[in-house]
Structures are given as structure tokens and as C-alpha cells.
């Protein structure tokens, strides 16, 4: 299983519309990418390790695929459309990591 994590770092002046991300952006991704996308999850940062500290990320979106080829073949043709939607909910450039899920 492959997990694509799209992380939006907390930074001064960061804007992030969680309602738009959950209700508009992620459904757009699901529709465009299709059945090769097995699962999505969205995390909203609330704190760092120390009590009362700021979370390192304002939000993290996760998308799970069976293989990296499934991700590349289904996301690639729609990457421009998906990435063009970012300014509708955030002014923070995302950090993207592709991981192999081990557990």
C-alpha cells in the first residue's frame, strides 16, 4: 500500500480553509483520480508535542493507493487541475511525501 501525504506547514500568515478542503477539494480529488484511490484521510493540526505549542502542520491530507504506479497513472493526468485548486483553500505551498505503508 502506498500513502501520499500532502502536508501544509504552519507558518506566519498561513491561510487554510478546512471546510473547503474537506467538502470541495478532497471530493474533487476522489472524483478525478477514480477507483485507484482506495482511501483518503484529513488531519487538522492542533498542537505540537509540548502542551500549548503550535502544530508543525496546519493540515495533512492522505491518499492511499495499492501501488505507486496506480498513483502515478491516476493522479498524473489530473495533477494540474488538482494543484490549481490549492489557492482556493490555502496560501501555503504543500510538502508532499510518498510512503510505503508497513503497518
4-51 residue pLDDT tens: 999 999 999 999 999 999 999 999 999 999 999 999 999 999 999 999
How many other CB atoms are found less than 10 A from the CB of residue 90?
Answer: 20
Percent of the chain with pLDDT over 70: 100
Laid out side by side, the sheet with 95-100 consists of 37-44, 57-65, 2-9, 95-100
Please tell me the class of the 2-100 domain: alpha beta
pLDDT of residue 53: 95
Query: Domain spans of the chain?
Result: 2-100
pLDDT of residue 77: 97
pLDDT mean over 73-84: 97
| Full-model pTM | 0.94
Q: Is residue 20 within 8 Å of residue 91, measured between CB atoms? A: no
Distances (CA, A) of 51 to 11, 45, 55, 68, 83: 19, 13, 10, 37, 34
pLDDT of residue 41: 98
Amino acid at each position: 500500500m502506498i500513502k501520499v501525504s500532502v502536508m501544509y506547514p504552519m507558518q506566519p500568515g498561513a491561510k487554510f480553509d478546512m471546510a473547503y478542503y474537506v467538502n470541495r477539494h478532497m471530493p474533487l480529488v476522489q472524483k478525478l483520480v477514480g477507483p485507484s484511490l482506495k482511501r483518503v484521510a484529513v488531519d487538522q493540526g492542533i498542537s505540537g508535542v509540548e502542551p500549548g505549542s503550535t502544530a508543525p502542520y496546519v493540515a495533512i491530507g492522505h491518499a492511499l493507493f495499492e501501488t505507486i504506479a496506480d498513483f502515478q497513472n491516476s493522479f498524473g493526468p489530473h495533477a494540474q487541475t488538482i494543484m490549481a485548486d490549492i489557492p482556493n483553500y490555502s496560501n501555503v505551498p504543500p510538502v508532499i511525501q510518498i510512503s510505503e505503508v508497513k503497518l
